[in-house]
């Protein structure tokens, strides 16, 4: 049996060995606490679930949905963007439903990338940006995200010959994994860069509603001229705790949305209509749950940051997102440090190298962990004395 070359080119799953150790420990009855996955532990708000329950009984929602989504859902997305960001969208041409943002991100490369084309991809970054590029036969030019640049790509550092060949530029703010944020001034610079080199901007914004200390993330589409060059991916997964329902949206440039619709119409059958109805309730109903959930995440953020600093790690509290990005001691790789923490304290974190070469030297911790588990994990951290790294000479 022979598989496609793209399967063989997939990067190895960094977490394989750690996952094996987790399974062994749990089979022995050991309480393993994981800070690894960004999947909200807080349930979907009751008013959304109640609407989903009602819609599931409507036989009209038992049939195939349309790829682009219900007109009512697209209108709700348009209204939400206008209310939240002041961005006007044509629900018929500039909005499309997604089976979660990840699906749209994975399919987006097929709209722009031919074999040999270049995608400008952040490093560290969400792996789907590069995997989608690989599946389309493209090549990644890695844009380093460095602390000294505020974890923003340095557009001036991209060689002109690379920029001229590039077809797309991926961004994501609030950022996964670093928790960094970007302002409209930076987004405006990206718009100008994209117009100069005729590049499509793909902005991934699923954490736009997860923010702290009075900070309000902006949409890329708020930048002047953004809709000329960009689409933005968003999701109800993190903002409304709907990860299990798989519902999101892409919005922005009408030609880019149409291209994505054409790809999707050949590969999927859209989001189940009952879930779209529930999403309409989320977007148009009361928004109290967002502030309530953010208050919980902020409390967790502060506790995790304090615990990490106590054991000597360098970390800054993020203004947004669900993640803590911490620098580990010199002498360890991120995988070695994550393995050591699992071995000695039965705590799981994500090695930064899993998000790209520039992620090395860091670990990522998620705030989507129930409070009781969080407290047990932090208590273990507080008692941990990090051993000096073994000599590699």
Where are the chain's structural domains?
Answer: 5-43+289-382, 63-284
CB atoms within 10 A of CB 93: 15
Q: What is the pTM of this model?
A: 0.96
Helix axes 101-112, 254-267, angle to 10 degrees: 100
pLDDT for position 15: 62
Its sign, for the CA torsion 33, 34, 39, 40, is positive
pLDDT for position 16: 67
What CATH code is assigned to 63-284? Answer: 3.40.640.10
Tell the CATH topology of 5-43+289-382: 3.90.1150
As a whole number of angstroms, the distance between CA 290 and CA 130 comes to: 31
Q: With a cut of 50, which residues of the chain have pLDDT below it? A: none
Q: How far apart are the first and last CA of the chain?
A: 43
Residue 300 in contact with residue 374, Cβ under 8 Å? yes
pLDDT for position 352: 96
Q: Whose CA is closest to 160, among 128, 190, 197?
A: 197
- H-state helical runs in the chain: 5-9, 16-27, 46-56, 71-85, 101-112, 128-135, 160-165, 184-197, 254-267, 273-284, 288-310, 334-345, 371-382
Q: Whose CA is closest to 159, among 122, 123, 120?
A: 120
SS (H, E, C) 15-59: CHHHHHHHHHHHHCCCCCEECCCCCCCCCCCHHHHHHHHHHHCCH
How crowded is the C-beta side of 354, counted as CA atoms within 13 Å?
Answer: 24
């Amino acid at each position: 049996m022979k598989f496609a070359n793209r399967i063989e080119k997939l990067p190895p799953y960094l977490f394989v060995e750690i996952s094996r150790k987790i399974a062994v420990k749990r089979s022995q009855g050991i309480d393993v606490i994981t800070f690894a996955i960004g999947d909200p532990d807080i349930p979907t708000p009751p008013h959304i679930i109640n609407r989903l329950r009602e819609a599931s009984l409507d036989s009209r929602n038992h049939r195939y949905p349309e790829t682009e989504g219900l007109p009512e859902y697209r209108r709700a997305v348009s209204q939400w963007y206008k209310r939240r960001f002041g961005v006007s969208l044509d629900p018929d041409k500039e909005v499309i439903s997604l089976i979660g943002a990840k699906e749209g991100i994975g399919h987006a490369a097929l709209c722009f990338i031919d074999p040999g084309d270049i995608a400008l991809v952040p490093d560290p970054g969400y792996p789907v940006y590069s995997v989608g590029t690989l599946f389309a036969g493209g090549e990644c030019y890695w844009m380093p995200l460095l602390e000294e640049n505020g974890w923003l790509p340095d557009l001036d550092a991209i060689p002109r010959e690379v920029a001229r060949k590039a077809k797309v530029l991926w961004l994501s703010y609030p950022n996964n994994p670093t928790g960094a944020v970007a302002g409209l001034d930076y987004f405006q610079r990206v718009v100008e860069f994209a117009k100069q080199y005729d590049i499509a901007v793909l902005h991934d914004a699923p954490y736009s509603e997860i923010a702290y200390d009075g900070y309000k993330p902006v949409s890329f589409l708020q930048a002047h001229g953004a809709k000329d060059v960009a689409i933005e991916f968003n999701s109800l997964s993190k903002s409304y705790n709907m990860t299990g329902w798989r519902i999101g949206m892409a919005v922005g440039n009408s030609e880019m949305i149409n291209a994505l619709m054409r790809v999707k119409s050949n590969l999927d059958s859209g989001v189940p209509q009952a879930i779209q109805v529930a999403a309409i309730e989320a977007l148009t109903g009361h928004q109290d749950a967002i502030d309530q959930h953010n208050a919980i995440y902020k409390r967790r953020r502060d506790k995790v940051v304090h615990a990490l600093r106590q054991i000597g790690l360098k970390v800054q509290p993020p203004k947004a997102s669900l993640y803590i990005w911490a620098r580990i001691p010199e002498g360890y790789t991120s995988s070695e440090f994550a393995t050591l923490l699992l071995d000695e304290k039965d705590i799981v974190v994500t090695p930064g190298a899993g998000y790209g070469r520039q992620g090395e030297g860091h670990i990522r911790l998620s705030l989507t962990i129930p409070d009781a588990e969080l407290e047990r994990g932090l208590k273990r951290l507080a008692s941990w004395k990090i051993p000096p790294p073994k000599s590699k000479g």
